Amino acid sequence: MNTATGQAPAARRVLVTGADGFLGRGVIEALSRQPHIEHLVAVDVREVPPNQRLPRVAYVTEDVRDRVLADTVDAHGIDAVVHLASIVTPGKGSSRAFEHSVDVGGTRNVIDACLRHGVAHLVVSSSGAAYGYHADNPAWLTEEHPLRGNEVFAYAHHKRLVEEMLAETRAQHPGLHQTVLRIGTILGDRVDNQITALFEKPRPIAIAGSDSPFVFVWDEDVTGAILHALSGRAVPGCYNLAGDGALTIHQIAERLGKRALVLPAGLLRLALRVGTALGVSRYGPEQLDFLRYRPVLLNTALKERFGYRPHKTSAQAFDAFVAAREAQGRPVKVSR
């Protein structure tokens, strides 16, 4: 629920966590071009090579879970923090405990650092996954719907826990403005993840009885929404961040010149269970709900209350992604 009143002050001295991730690099580049940003700190657990560093940016190699983060906030006189650090696609050897420590523990550490040193505004990248993948999800989810991130999905569950922690902080420390962006499926020129992998298949998988609609948001629109949050013109709160409209898996397949492979839910569940047992699939039967009960985000509050209108609709973002793959010589679309 959006309970904050008034506008957050315009940011002048900004710290970004997860600054060397896919989204973080775009945010740092965009912020470095903003004349009103006096000081910009890029924090990431990975050291950024000197030849990849931008002018006007202070690069700090630091784990978001480390208590020294508060010292960094203090030393640089930070007035706004953009918290992007999260485990979206776990690497080999990852564990649920590690992912929880980064997603949940890291966010707790960021909140503590903000409160300890009087940060005025905290901007957090959450996800539509926080609503969860449920059969009784409404056709369109608004910010007033409950967050029910499924425990079986680490990312969704952790985003729910993070948002519960943020809500508790809002109640106890209203002086810290919060902007929480529940982001849809991000597409961009160079996005590669388990979602885009679905579109690369000769026949995208569809589940009988489910249209599996997707809401997309172009990566530059995510950056644009974050810049708007820091501009001093936005009303803090929790907002769905997605392009207008949605595309069903059948519409996606048609745009790719392909036909969806429609499978009965029971058959797909059995195949996933067997594949997991044999060690030939990293995805278990729980992925069935990930595919058929996708949260579909309504962005009305983003446009009318927050004041940001995405430049690309879901369909336009998808078409731009397909065009980018074509230009890179990595086509996902079947030529006719």
Average pLDDT, the chain: 93
Q: Report the predicted TM-score, pTM, of the whole model to 2 decimal places.
A: 0.94
CA distance 21 to 37: 21
pLDDT of residue 170: 98
Of the candidates 254, 248, 247, the residue with the CA atom closest to the CA atom of residue 203: 254
pLDDT of residue 72: 98
Who's near 237: CB < 8 A, 6+ residues apart? 2, 3, 4, 143, 178, 179, 180, 301, 305, 306
pLDDT tens-digit profile of 119-153?
999 999 999 999 999 999 999 999 999 999 999 99
Q: What is the mean predicted confidence (pLDDT) over 42-69?
A: 97
pLDDT tens-digit profile of 71-96?
999 999 999 999 999 998 888 889 99
Q: What is the mean predicted confidence (pLDDT) over 301-307?
A: 98
pLDDT of residue 248: 96
- pLDDT range class, residue 3, cuts 50, 70, 90: very low
pLDDT of residue 336: 56
pLDDT exceeds cutoff 90 at 36: yes
Q: Which two tokens stand for residue 204?
A: 């995208």
- Is residue 181 within 8 Å of residue 228, measured between CB atoms? no
CA distance 262 to 238: 36
- pLDDT range class, residue 4, cuts 50, 70, 90: very low
273 vs 314, higher pLDDT:
314
pLDDT of residue 93: 85
227 CB-contact burial (10 Å; exposed 0-12 / middle 13-18 / buried 19+): buried
pLDDT of residue 44: 98
pLDDT of residue 285: 72
pLDDT tens-digit profile of 258-293?
999 999 988 888 887 877 777 766 667 778 888 899
- pLDDT range class, residue 334, cuts 50, 70, 90: confident
Buried b (16+ CB within 10 A) or exposed e, 124-153: bbbbbbbbbbeeebeebbebebebbbbeeb
320 vs 5, higher pLDDT:
320
pLDDT exceeds cutoff 60 at 41: yes
- pLDDT range class, residue 5, cuts 50, 70, 90: low
Out of 90-94, 109-113, 302-306, pick the least confident: 90-94
Residue type (1 letter), 21: G
- pLDDT range class, residue 2, cuts 50, 70, 90: very low
Who's near 72: CB < 8 A, 6+ residues apart? 15, 41, 43, 60, 62, 78, 113
pLDDT of residue 280: 63
- Measured at the CA of 167, the angle between CA 163 and CA 169, to 5 degrees, comes to 115
Percentage of the chain lying above the pLDDT 90 cut: 82
183 vs 288, higher pLDDT:
183
- Is residue 215 within 8 Å of residue 244, measured between CB atoms? no
pLDDT exceeds cutoff 90 at 7: no
Q: What is the mean predicted confidence (pLDDT) over 183-194?
A: 92
CA distance 190 to 192: 6
